[in-house]
Amino acid sequence: MKQLFYIIFFALLLFFSCKKDPITNDPTPAPLSSIQVNLNNMVDDSLLVLNKNYFTSAGDSFMVSKFKYYLSNFVFTLEDGSEYTEPESYHLIRHTNGISSFTITQVPLGGYKAVRFMIGVDSTHNVSGTQPGDLESSYASDMFWTWSSGYIFLKLEGTAPKSPASDKLIEYHIGGYGGKYKTQRDFNFNFGFGRLNVLQTKLPVLNLKVNVNEIFKTPVAIDFSSLPTVVAGGFYAKQLADNYADMISLKSIDNP
């Protein structure tokens, strides 16, 4: 009997709340909050500044004029092992000088102990036509190959004195969503004793370091004189993807 009253009570609440405030029409406002993800795009220990000179680990000079990549399919693990999977989780990071960031909203409250995500876009979303949100921006941001369908997962452009290409250009457009040359790469970070505390009133920050130099380093050292450009999926794209597989590391968790 009590239950019935509760149901009627909530139904009435819902009814009135809809009339008064059309914005919050969620019948059971679950305790949700947000996580900010910061991408510290760097070259080793310095923040990446566009068109500034840097050196690879092999000592080759280069400049970056454009650096963009997709991070997707974020899953956060709570203390008890349960998981929060962000729906439609596609984030296009476009580097401008400074820290790039985005916010994941509607996250259930709690202490999170781990996160996993990937560079790239899953194969399903590469073959399902036009998409909304950050995937839609791919067309306008030149992060989609229009002649050979598929998202460009990572794009790095710039110059290097060693490049034999015209204007000393270096161009790496990396993608390829399936088969032996697939270029999505997974990342999985455990916070150890630390916790990412998602609270109603505070915005915790997940700080990730993205080291551009890792793209040129291991397992295959990239020589600008022999491989100045990769602008399609395939063998070389996979080689660069194997390199960027350890490009991102966990910098810190900031609980305000």
Query: Which residues in this chain contact other proteins in the complex, by CB under 8 A?
Result: 126-132, 136, 139-140, 144, 146-150, 232, 234-235
The two three-digit tokens of residue 161, written as one number: 């004195």
**Which residue matches tokens 């997940």?**
206
Residue 29 CB, nearest distance to other proteins (Å)?
Answer: 21
DSSP 115-177: EEEEES--HHHHSS----HHHHHHHHTT-B-SSS-SBEEEEEEEE-TT--SGGGEEEEEEE--
| Angle (nearest 5°) at CA 209 between 72 and 155 | 55
Q: Give dist(CA 120, CA 144) in Å, integer.
A: 12
Residue 128 CB, nearest distance to other proteins (Å)?
Answer: 7
The two three-digit tokens of residue 43, written as one number: 């070259």
Closer by beta carbon to other proteins, 102 or else 181:
181
Closer by beta carbon to other proteins, 35 or else 135:
135
Residue 125 CB, nearest distance to other proteins (Å)?
Answer: 11
Residue 229 CB, nearest distance to other proteins (Å)?
Answer: 14
CA 81 vs. chain centroid, Å, equals 23
Residue 66 CB, nearest distance to other proteins (Å)?
Answer: 16
**What phi and psi values does residue 4 have, to the nearest 5 degrees?**
-60, -45
**Which residue matches tokens 């194969």?**
123
Closer by beta carbon to other proteins, 55 or else 235:
235
Closer by beta carbon to other proteins, 89 or else 137:
137
Closer by beta carbon to other proteins, 6 or else 139:
139
CA 23 vs. chain centroid, Å, equals 29
Closer by beta carbon to other proteins, 128 or else 200:
128
